[in-house]
Amino acid sequence: MNNKQNRSYLYGVVGGYLLYLAYELFADRQDPNTTMMPVVRWLFVGLFTVAGIFLLIWATRLWLEARKGQDEEERPPENPNAMK
Amino acid sequence: MDRPAANQSNIRKADLASLLKKNAMLIILVLVYIFFTIMTKGRMFRPNSFASLINQNAYVYIIGCGMLMCMLTGGNIDLSCGAFVCLLGALGGMMMVYWGMGTAISIIALLAIGVVYGCALGAIIAYVHVPPWIATLAGYLAFRGLGTAILGVSSTNSISFNSKQEFLSIFSGTLFKTPEGTLNWPCLIVGLVAAALVILLVFRNRAVRLKKGYEVDQIGMDVAKCGLSAAAIILVMYKLAYSGGIPTVLVWVGAVVLFYSFITSKTTIGRHFYVVGGNIEAARLSGVDTRRIMFIAYLNMAILTSIAAMTTVSRFTAANADAGKNFEMDAISACVVGGVSASGGAGTVLGMVIGATLIGVINLGMFQVNLDANYQRVVKGFVLLAAVVFDILSKKKAR
Amino acid sequence: MTNYLLEMRHITKTFPGVKALDNVNLQVEEGEIHALVGENGAGKSTLMNVLSGIYPYGTYEGDIVYNGKECKFNSIKDSEKLGIVIIHQELALVPEMTIGENMYLGNERGHRLAIDWNTTYSEADKYLRMVGLSESSKTQVKDIGTGKQQLVEIAKALAKQAKLLILDEPTSSLNEEDSRALLDLMLGFKKQGMTMIIISHKLNEVAYVADKITVIRDGTTIETIDNHGREPVSEERIIKGMVGREMTNRFPKREKVKIGDVMLEVDNWTVHHPLYPERKVVDNVSMFVRKGEVVGIYGLMGAGRTELAMSIFGQSYGVNITGQLKINGREVHLKKSASDAIKHGIAYVTEDRKGNGLVLSQSIKVNTSLAHLDAVSSHTVIDGDKEYAVAEEYREKLKTKTPTVEQLVGNLSGGNQQKVLLAKWMFAEQDIMLLDEPTRGIDVGAKYEIYCIINDLAAAGKSVVMISSELPEVLAMSDRIYIMNEGRFVGEMKASEATQEKIMAVILQSGRSA
């Protein structure tokens, strides 16, 4: 299931990007020009970090599932059924 | 066979609920646009905004078409396009500004480089079976460094294209330029002609299908569809007419979008893309050359990236080290928001265009209300999150 | 008033565009084996998915009463907590893991952080004995045959303390011997008080094991047949309920049998396994098919029939392929591509229609034209209306049940999906049709329609190769039968001289000793 793997990459990329956004939000906390209140900032940093990590985990799970599916397909054909 | 009359059985019933669902993104786009127009006290409705929207987002539409084709094959993406834009810009700068090569030959050379990269990338992915995300990751990591190194020849790490008006005029600026605030007739005329063509096409199509005895939608639907499209086209062109004329990139964007629309919806190769993404084994066993499709997807992507590189350089009249930053994410976002499935096999050019426009409107709107950069990040994150959630949900429903 | 363990009342479930279940009622007594039969798409699996919580409360109408209490399941875990365990058609075991690990996947013994393996394995062994397996639970799943894997699934269900066991087509991948063993196991469980629901197409098995048989057709319950009589209920009686009419002949007669020259000839064909190249999956096979002829290839699972067909079809399977192919008398060397095979007039109708035969996310129309797009396009531009007309033509010809050819193939029942798959290859106008298990997982009524289609193909002069694991089908439909076992052709007989016993004898004689 190549497609499932690809979906997992996409989700992973988005998850990573969310973490990047969270980082940017965090890095800007000293900026005097911003109108964002510290409370709000931390809220979104937290939210995006959690969402980003969650997406990364989901993507990894998807990837593993897809991997499992692939391995099943490549299994050698079963021996003709002979109940010993 | 006698010409059958348009009886009841020929006419497809329209159903409001499914109509809304199918056009959900478009409706959201309109609503968001209206929202921002109100928030900016009408500034979004000014001719300048329309021009900005097109000039700022041209690259998304162009690269988006390429990303769409890649994603159709099974959720594959190209992480290298942004960095490649930087590299091409640097190379273009060297060619045109430092070595004094002619415009035409430079354009051809840049396209050729795109083709070479595309073939190499396509071959690695399709025939050596390297997963696309690894293959393009290499470009993502290497190209920007390479481009920056090349740009190091200038002390400012950027090459100015100010002297290359000929080149700039091909990819940026306005056609038949007139001062802002005055009506640009060629622009308006193009709009009217385009609108007329749309109406003509829809009704000619309808007549032909009726004659052959095939199904048609209710006439109200057809009228509404082409009426709204025509109105939209005329509105946009009318606004642009006051902004100084047709933005040159619009010609490029229009050509690319129309071309890929046609390919995806009406050609056999377009069909092959969809089935490869839908079920690659079934496609293969039905005689589709699946490796060739993958190859073409990435070759195509590289060529479109070259075009986008040229429009980017033109827009900034310079080749910069951070050109192309985030291009791949923008294209992917446009696709995902526009309903292109992350696992392949579904998605349309129109969807991507709507997605790109929606994101473009949000970006422009946030800029015009002077939204704090941090809030802009928040919005960006939420849009992406929403798109992913939407994708997950639509997968669940399909089960 | 009888004591019902389970009552499903007025269940209605709708999917976009189709009502899968319409006011279905099911009553299962405690300690009985209750069979659900019906055509594909009739709704049996959907009903069981509602019961087990796969379709959670709120996505259907009606109620489920279990042990006197109304149930509102949100997930499989909820139904399993009450002892309702469903075993699906597709085995859900991880081959790399041991039996014990598989059995307790998601159900681990021990604390959150440390799984207690000793308890796991000893308990697993206990359940394995209950299903009659002598293996140790430390054996890896991939090392035991499908028959035993199926039993492991049952042991897994027992480990979940199942009180109501639902078996969805439990013998679909088993041979006769293993199927019988499983059915006897079910009868054994019944004696111990277990209640079971079995969904099956194999009516002889249903008649053997079920106390009551509920027939579902088109999403509604038609009737419930009592099987407590002295004689088990006849298959004809069940079929009548399923199909709504008497079916005197399960197989249509072959009219105008006109057999011509040899169309496809395969000589000394040997194919090696792609991952284990020393292993021969097809060993020196020689066969031929004439125009207008139906040749059956019978064998047990794992015999190599699919691999044979796929390797002929443009080397779509296997490495190190040697041998000769002659089409219409001329020797051909097919390149490693399906499209080359197609150009030479070969069609391969896969055995796994959902896995690699059809693009489920696309419409019937798109799937029908897929192998022959140039016939509905000019200079690579597709003529949408022509494509639509072609799809409609085949819809009518094959009697595919669907409101429109724009319907997604994934939403069709198995039988109708198979028809679309056949339509695709019929539209491609191929002369050599390799059909791999063309009626697998399809109900009686649709099977008959497909047999008619196959007969029509032969009558039109095509060369048909039918791979099948169903002996009655092979005997009734073929002109000649090849018997395959462990990669080799071990027998060939004219259908008129063949019997079930003769064929089985050939296989048994040819089997290598274990």
Q: Which residue has the tokens 């490869």?
A: B276
Model confidence over C398-430: pLDDT tens digits? 988 888 899 999 888 888 899 999 999 999 999
- Say yes or no for a CB contact (<8 Å) between C410 and B282: no
Q: Taking 70 as the threshold, does the pLDDT of residue C474 lie above it?
A: yes
- Say yes or no for a CB contact (<8 Å) between A10 and B74: no
Nearest CB to A34 within list B132, B329, B372: B372
Question: pLDDT band at A83, cuts 50/70/90?
Answer: very low
Q: Taking 90 as the threshold, does the pLDDT of residue B269 lie above it?
A: yes
Rg of chain C taking only CA atoms, in angstroms: 24
- Say yes or no for a CB contact (<8 Å) between A25 and B372: no
Q: Residue A46 falls within a domain, yes or no?
A: yes
% of chain C at pLDDT higher than 90: 35
- Mark whether C132 and C230 lie in a shared domain: yes
C371 near C342, Cβ under 8 Å? yes
Q: Whose CA is closest to C182, among C233, C131, C125?
A: C131
Nearest CB to A6 within list B343, B381, B384: B343
Contact with chain C for residue A68, Cβ under 8 A: yes
- Say yes or no for a CB contact (<8 Å) between C381 and B267: yes
Q: Model-level pTM?
A: 0.77
C215 near C238, Cβ under 8 Å? yes
Q: Which residues of B touch A35 (CB under 8 A)?
A: 372, 375
For residue C456, what are its two tokens? Answer: 């029509």
Model confidence over B88-147: pLDDT tens digits? 999 999 998 888 888 899 999 999 999 999 999 999 999 999 999 899 999 999 999 999
Q: Residue C350 falls within a domain, yes or no?
A: no
Q: Residue A51 falls within a domain, yes or no?
A: yes
Q: Which residue has the tokens 């089985």?
A: C504
Q: Taking 90 as the threshold, does the pLDDT of residue B268 lie above it?
A: yes
Question: pLDDT band at C117, cuts 50/70/90?
Answer: confident
Residue B376's pLDDT is what? 82
Contact with chain A for residue C302, Cβ under 8 A: yes
Alpha carbons C216 and C41: distance in angstroms, whole number? 10
The alpha carbon dihedral of C157, C159, C160, C164 has a sign of: positive
Residue C140 has what DSSP assignment? B
Q: How many CB pairs below 8 A link B and C?
A: 78
**Contacts with B303 (C-beta within 8 Å, 6 or more apart), sequence order:** B66, B111, B114, B115, B118
Q: Residue A31 falls within a domain, yes or no?
A: yes
CB atoms inside a 10 Å sphere around CB B291: 17
Question: What residue numbers bound the domain in which C8 lies?
Answer: 4-243
Residue C466 C-alpha, separation from nearest chain B C-alpha, in angstroms:
18
Residue C125's pLDDT is what? 85
- Mark whether C18 and C53 lie in a shared domain: yes
Residue B398's pLDDT is what? 54
Residue C196 C-alpha, separation from nearest chain A C-alpha, in angstroms:
25
Q: Is B244 left (phi over 0), alpha (psi -120 to 50) or beta?
A: left
Residue C359 C-alpha, separation from nearest chain A C-alpha, in angstroms:
13
All domains in chain B, ordered by first residue: 46-184+242-398 (1.10.3470)
Nearest CB to C362 within list B267, B269, B275: B275
Q: Which residues of A touch C97 (CB under 8 A)?
A: none
Q: Residue C510 falls within a domain, yes or no?
A: yes
CATH number, domain of C13, equals 3.40.50.300
Range of weakest confidence among B97-101, B311-315, B354-358, C375-379: B97-101
- Mark whether C121 and C224 lie in a shared domain: yes
DSSP states of B61-124: HHHHHHHHHHHHTTS---S-HHHHHHHHHHHHHIIIIIS---HHHHHHHHHHHHHHHHHHHHHH
- Mark whether C368 and C471 lie in a shared domain: no
Q: Residue A6 falls within a domain, yes or no?
A: yes
Quick one: closest CA in C to B208, which residue? Answer: C385
Residue B312 C-alpha, separation from nearest chain C C-alpha, in angstroms:
33
The alpha carbon dihedral of B274, B276, B279, B284 has a sign of: positive
CB atoms inside a 10 Å sphere around CB B7: 7
- Mark whether C144 and C279 lie in a shared domain: no
Q: Which residues of B touch A24 (CB under 8 A)?
A: 377
Q: Which residue has the tokens 């269900």?
A: C157
- Mark whether C291 and C311 lie in a shared domain: yes
- Mark whether C338 and C360 lie in a shared domain: no
Q: Whose CA is closest to C324, among C293, C287, C353?
A: C287
Give the residue-averaged pLDDT of C251-269. 87
For residue B245, what are its two tokens? Answer: 């004329």
Burial of C490 (0-12, 13-18, 19+ CB in 10 A): middle
Residue C475: its H or E element: helix C471-477
Residues of C at the B interface, defined by Cβ within 8 angstroms: 313, 316, 337-339, 342, 348, 350, 355-362, 366, 370-371, 373-374, 377, 380-382, 384-385, 388-389, 410, 424
Alpha carbons C142 and C149: distance in angstroms, whole number? 9
Residue A28 C-alpha, separation from nearest chain C C-alpha, in angstroms:
39
- Say yes or no for a CB contact (<8 Å) between B375 and A36: yes
> How would you label B332-353 residue by residue, b for 16+ Cβ within 10 Å and e otherwise?
bbbbbbbbbbbbbbbbbbbbbb
Question: What residue numbers bound the domain in which A46 lies?
Answer: 2-71
Q: Taking 70 as the threshold, does the pLDDT of residue C483 lie above it?
A: yes
Q: How far is CA B196 from CA B229, B234, C291, in A?
A: 10, 10, 57
Alpha carbons C185 and C443: distance in angstroms, whole number? 25
Query: First and final CA of chain B: distance in angstroms?
Result: 43
Which of C224, C243, C262 is at the close of a domain? C243
Q: How far is CA A66 from the centre of its chain?
A: 14
Give the residue-averaged pLDDT of B376-387. 82
- Say yes or no for a CB contact (<8 Å) between C145 and A83: yes
Which of C243, C262, C283 is at the close of a domain? C243
- Mark whether C325 and C447 lie in a shared domain: yes
Residue A61 C-alpha, separation from nearest chain C C-alpha, in angstroms:
15
For residue B115, what are its two tokens? Answer: 């083709």
Q: How far is CA A20 from CA A49, B121, B144, B377, in A?
A: 9, 27, 19, 10
Residue C299 C-alpha, separation from nearest chain A C-alpha, in angstroms:
10
- Say yes or no for a CB contact (<8 Å) between A80 and C302: yes
B336 near B354, Cβ under 8 Å? no
- Mark whether C359 and C499 lie in a shared domain: no
Residue C242's pLDDT is what? 73
Mean confidence (pLDDT) of chain C: 86
- Mark whether C95 and C159 lie in a shared domain: yes
Q: Taking 80 as the threshold, does the pLDDT of residue C58 lie above it?
A: yes
CB atoms inside a 10 Å sphere around CB C322: 10
Contact with chain C for residue A83, Cβ under 8 A: yes
- Say yes or no for a CB contact (<8 Å) between A72 and C95: yes
Nearest CB to B279 within list C316, C348, C359: C359
Three-state SS at C254: coil
Q: Residue A80 falls within a domain, yes or no?
A: no
Alpha carbons C253 and C193: distance in angstroms, whole number? 46
Q: Residue C76 falls within a domain, yes or no?
A: yes
**Contacts with B34 (C-beta within 8 Å, 6 or more apart), sequence order:** none
- Say yes or no for a CB contact (<8 Å) between B342 and A17: no
- Mark whether C77 and C144 lie in a shared domain: yes
Model confidence over C62-105: pLDDT tens digits? 999 998 889 999 888 888 889 899 888 777 777 778 888 788 77
Q: Taking 70 as the threshold, does the pLDDT of residue C111 lie above it?
A: no
- Say yes or no for a CB contact (<8 Å) between B384 and A55: no
- Taking CA C498 as the corner, what is the angle to CA C497 and CA C501, rounded to the nearest 5 degrees? 135
Contact with chain A for residue C410, Cβ under 8 A: no
Question: pLDDT band at C112, cuts 50/70/90?
Answer: low
- Say yes or no for a CB contact (<8 Å) between B343 and A4: yes
Range of weakest confidence among B2-11, B343-352, C78-87, C417-426: B2-11
- Mark whether C192 and C303 lie in a shared domain: no
For residue B269, what are its two tokens? Answer: 């190769």
Alpha carbons C347 and C172: distance in angstroms, whole number? 26
Residue C401's pLDDT is what? 86
Number of domains in chain A: 1
Q: Tell me the residue type at C411.
A: N
- Say yes or no for a CB contact (<8 Å) between C174 and A72: no
Q: Which residue has the higher pLDDT, C165 or C142?
A: C165
Q: Which residues of B touch C377 (CB under 8 A)?
A: 267-268
Model confidence over C4-48: pLDDT tens digits? 889 999 999 887 666 778 889 999 999 999 999 887 667 787 888
Nearest CB to B75 within list A6, A24, A28: A6
Alpha carbons B223 and B215: distance in angstroms, whole number? 16
Nearest CB to C273 within list A76, A80, A81: A76
Residue C248 C-alpha, separation from nearest chain B C-alpha, in angstroms:
37
The alpha carbon dihedral of C99, C103, C105, C110 has a sign of: negative
Query: First and final CA of chain A: distance in angstroms?
Result: 34
Three-state SS at C60: coil
Range of weakest confidence among B195-199, B214-218, C383-387: B214-218
Q: Residue A79 falls within a domain, yes or no?
A: no
According to DSSP, the β-strands at C61-66 and C4-15 are antiparallel
Model confidence over B149-171: pLDDT tens digits? 999 888 888 888 888 888 888 88
Q: Residue C369 falls within a domain, yes or no?
A: yes
Q: Whose CA is closest to C65, among C2, C26, C8?
A: C8
The set of chains that have 3 or more CB pairs under 8 A with C is A, B
> How would you label B164-193 residue by residue, b for 16+ Cβ within 10 Å and e otherwise?
beebbebbbbbbeebeeeeebeebbebbee
Q: Taking 80 as the threshold, does the pLDDT of residue B322 lie above it?
A: yes
Which of C243, C278, C301 is at the close of a domain? C243
Alpha carbons B88 and B109: distance in angstroms, whole number? 10
Range of weakest confidence among B255-264, B364-373, C209-218, C441-450: C441-450
Residue B317 CA neighbour count, 13 Å, CB half: 9
Give the residue-averaged pLDDT of A6-19. 84
Number of domains in chain C: 3
Residue C240's pLDDT is what? 74
Alpha carbons B340 and B351: distance in angstroms, whole number? 7
For residue B91, what are its two tokens? Answer: 């190379």
